[in-house]
Amino acid sequence: MRKKWKLMLALLAVFGMIAAACGGDDDDSSGESSSESSSSSSSSSSSSSEGAAEEEASSGDLATCPDPLVIQTDWFPESEHGAMYELFGSGAYSIDAENLIVSGTLHDGATDTGIGLEVRTGGPAIGFSPVASYMYTDSNITLGYANTEAQVTFFESAPLLSVMAPLEKNPQMVMWDPETYPNVNSLKDLGDEGITISVFGGGVFAEVFIAQGIWSADQVDPSYDGSPANFIANGGSIAQQGFASAEPYDYENVFTDWGKPVKLQLLHDAGFPVYSQTIAIRSAEKDALDECLTALVPLIQRATVNFVINPDTANGIIIDAVDTFGSFWVYSEGLADFSVNAQKQLGLVGNGPNDTVGDMEEARIQSIIDIMSNAGIDTGGITTADIYTNEYIDPSIGFSGDDLCVDQIGVNVGLVYDIGGRGDQSFNDSAYAGIERAECTLGISFTEASPNDDGSNRAELLQLAADSSDLVIGNGFLFAGDAEAVAAVNPDTNFAVVDSAMIDFGTGGPLADNIAGLTFAEEQGSFLVGAAAALKTGVDKIGFVGGVCCYGGIEPFEAGFIAGAQAVNPNIEVLSAYATEAPDFDGFNAPDRGKELALAMYEDGADIVYQAAGGTGAGVYQAALEHSSDTGSKVWAIGVDSDVWLVVDEELQEHLLSSMVKEVGNGIFLAIQAHITGNWSAGQQTYALENGGVGYATSGGYLNDVLDQLESFKSQIVSGEIEVSRDPLDYTN
């Protein structure tokens, strides 16, 4: 479907997309061009993985691979395919303009393996056929691009097995005009507002979102032909599908009749997390290719890392190939640079939840099968093992350090933490993770500060930050009043407050154009860890420790936890206690009190306690360790805000069942991203399961045996089949 839009787009001369001219029947079009890149391959960029990982390839044998090795892509050369063109290294390559093929030899970094390599163009070159089905028409193809959705759809007639995923996220998106719809921040908002959404007919994602009630059938227009004309002619009154790695650049820089930013949400972040452009083989050839894949997949992993770190060589090949092809498809250096940065900034490339690039999550793939099935799509009894394997992945290869960082862009962000500051292993640390990520992948600089113990200098710190920052973030609802006041005297500075809606409850609109509130559906994430606790308890008695009661901030955590537990076992007993009651907010920084409350619950028979108490939660973890040691009976704790397992001592890790991950850092990151891209939206911005705002951690592997059940609950919440209240009284009366 994507490919059709590219064709139609290019055919519109008014938008200047036929720069490479239609040579059509020109005899010279079949000529070959040979080039050598002036840039060194990624030898300078291999610090993150190449050294140790090269040894892993010896367990396989590249000599058993087909020669030439043929890789079938899904479209013309573009930077999303960068890893495939990185495989040519800095060696010579040839371009077959008639058949749209780039040929050379397979390289592992700077090492020429001597094996022939062909990277073939998809789209019009294969009659716009899906790669899955086309691979069954040409036995010379060794590897082809496939996504989870297509694998499920075509499995019966054309089964493919994915062996590696160069992209962590699917770049497919839906976009809209932020000037026309300033309060729209998600695909769900598009549905709620009844906005027409232009898509290709027959798209599975639209069918899914309609089935889930996110969109209505009558607002989906399946007549999209790939052209920007309709979106532009409508002045941005409609939304439109596209690819986040290309269209935002084109609409701002190429389509002069538009010439401004668009706002977008990835399908992945809206709850349809297919793996796109996986490297796949024909399923029946697995045994024959086993030795080859054992050596080849780690090589492709390294190429993926190397391309992102130093894309110049591969992008040079991509641009050269497109120019030589002389077709309607145009690819500029500016678009190539944008694409690589977008891949970093949007998380399209990365390690995912671990330190490994290219591996795939079984629970994620199962969720796609379930989502499609629940939408009424026939999945034919397919299992995850039918369509993917990680057995060829080298877990030591991944991005590290500054691999995904971009150059600084001259934007400074001021972050003021809640009481306790950085180091709380919870709320503030999550905020720091978000701004640290923004420093790397968005190129911002930042300052940070913490209020005194009574918080009396919040306004002063916000103003100090505003003196040197373009955006100021207050981490916690207690900043709301001060942020409103400081924003009023700094109208040219944007402000965001975590855990406060920052809306005028009289009008329902933003308090001011330069203030956003970042709120989270804590009840949804808490539902999942509540379900996990009910599935893992041995005594049907669990507990909840909150920081501060009775102001509305922590009760949603308790409500969701109880709801999730009761969804598994309606008769389960849930103990609840709070460290303090408002207006005493010391309950967020009282680990001794947290330990006391948790110990009481363990002594009362609970074997799992979930904490939503900020710094007080450290005491809950200690209580789990102490009670287990004293009694010889192991009990568990569940953390909050961040994946606590990753930051506590090893002795505590053994008692951390999971964490409810409230992606404060992600909310902060997205607010910064909106600010620097011109997509700033004032007022309430809500982050939920559907957009990655909340979730649960699986570090330690303690939930591996219940992941299918948890992902099923997650899908039901995203689809609206399960609605979670924010009031614990709805589950305790």
Residue 260 has pLDDT above 50, yes or no: yes
Contact 492, 513 (CB under 8 A): no
pTM: 0.75
Helix (H) or strand (E) holding 242: strand 239-243
Q: Can you tell me whether residue 672 is helix, strand or coil?
A: helix
Q: What is the pLDDT of residue 424?
A: 81
Most distant CA atoms of the chain, gap in Å: 85
Q: Which residues are CB-neighbours of 370 under 8 A, at least 6 positions away?
A: 711, 712, 715
Q: What is the pLDDT of residue 41?
A: 32
Q: Can you tell me whether residue 70 is helix, strand or coil?
A: strand
Average pLDDT, the chain: 89
Each residue's pLDDT tens digit, 43-54: 333 333 333 333
Distance CA 160, CA 136 (A): 10
Distance CA 145, CA 201 (A): 22
Distance CA 620, CA 623 (A): 5
Amino acid identity of residue 330, one-letter, is V
Binning the chain into helix, strand and coil, the percentages to the nearest 5 are: 40, 20, 40
Q: How confident is the model at residue 59 (pLDDT cuts 50, 70, 90)?
A: low
Q: Can you tell me whether residue 43 is helix, strand or coil?
A: helix
Q: What is the pLDDT of residue 439?
A: 95
Question: Can you tell me the mean pLDDT for 715-730?
Answer: 90
Contact 688, 661 (CB under 8 A): no
Question: Can you tell me the mean pLDDT for 128-141?
Answer: 92
Contact 392, 163 (CB under 8 A): yes
Start-end of H helices in 585-663: 591-603, 617-631, 650-653
Block residue for tokens 């902060």: 668
User: How many percent of the chain have pLDDT more than 70?
Assistant: 92
Quote the tokens at residue 450: 């913490």
Q: Can you tell me whether residue 574 is helix, strand or coil?
A: strand
In the sheet with 172-176, reading across from the earlier edge strand, the strands are 220-221, 197-198, 239-243, 172-176, 263-266
Contact 536, 703 (CB under 8 A): yes
Q: Supply the DSSP symbol for 42.
A: S
Q: What is the pLDDT of residue 47?
A: 36
Cα angle value 302/304/306 (rounded, 5°):
65
For helices 362-374 and 707-719, the axis angle rounded to 10 degrees is 40
Q: How confident is the model at residue 551 (pLDDT cuts 50, 70, 90)?
A: confident
pLDDT, greater one: 51 or 727: 727
Contact 598, 612 (CB under 8 A): no
- Return the closest-CA partner of residue 279 out of 260, 262, 292: 292
Q: What is the pLDDT of residue 509?
A: 85
Q: What is the pLDDT of residue 692?
A: 78
Distance CA 515, CA 682 (A): 5
Each residue's pLDDT tens digit, 329-350: 889 999 999 999 999 988 899 9
Quote the tokens at residue 46: 């291999």
Helix (H) or strand (E) holding 474: strand 471-474
Distance CA 669, CA 400 (A): 19
Contact 399, 357 (CB under 8 A): yes
pLDDT, greater one: 506 or 306: 306
Q: What is the pLDDT of residue 4?
A: 35
- Cα–Cα separations (whole angstroms), residue 502 to 92, 484, 515, 600, 712: 58, 8, 7, 38, 33
Distance CA 494, CA 503 (A): 15
Residue 69 has pLDDT above 90, yes or no: yes
What do you get for the CA distance between the two ends of the chain, in Å? 51
Distance CA 409, CA 443 (A): 5
Residue 37 has pLDDT above 60, yes or no: no
Q: Is 598 exposed, middle or buried (0-12, 13-18, 19+ CB in 10 A)?
A: buried
Distance CA 144, CA 125 (A): 14
Q: Supply the DSSP symbol for 80.
A: G
Residue 84 has pLDDT above 70, yes or no: yes
Residue 714 has pLDDT above 80, yes or no: yes
Each residue's pLDDT tens digit, 229-238: 999 999 999 9
Residue 679 has pLDDT above 80, yes or no: no
Q: Which residues are CB-neighbours of 299 under 8 A, at least 6 positions away?
A: 57, 62, 87, 106, 108
Question: Can you tell me the mean pLDDT for 623-647?
Answer: 94
Q: Which residues are CB-neighbours of 437 under 8 A, at least 6 positions away?
A: 665, 669
- Return the closest-CA partner of residue 711 out of 265, 275, 371, 350: 371
- Torsions phi, psi of 346, nearest 5? -95, 0
Contact 360, 393 (CB under 8 A): no
Q: Which residues are CB-neighbours of 421 under 8 A, at least 6 positions away?
A: 428, 450
Q: Is 146 exposed, middle or buried (0-12, 13-18, 19+ CB in 10 A)?
A: buried
Residue 421 has pLDDT above 50, yes or no: yes
Each residue's pLDDT tens digit, 86-112: 999 999 999 999 999 999 999 999 999
Q: What is the pLDDT of residue 661?
A: 92
Compute the Cα dihedral for 116, 121, 125, 128 and give only its sign: positive
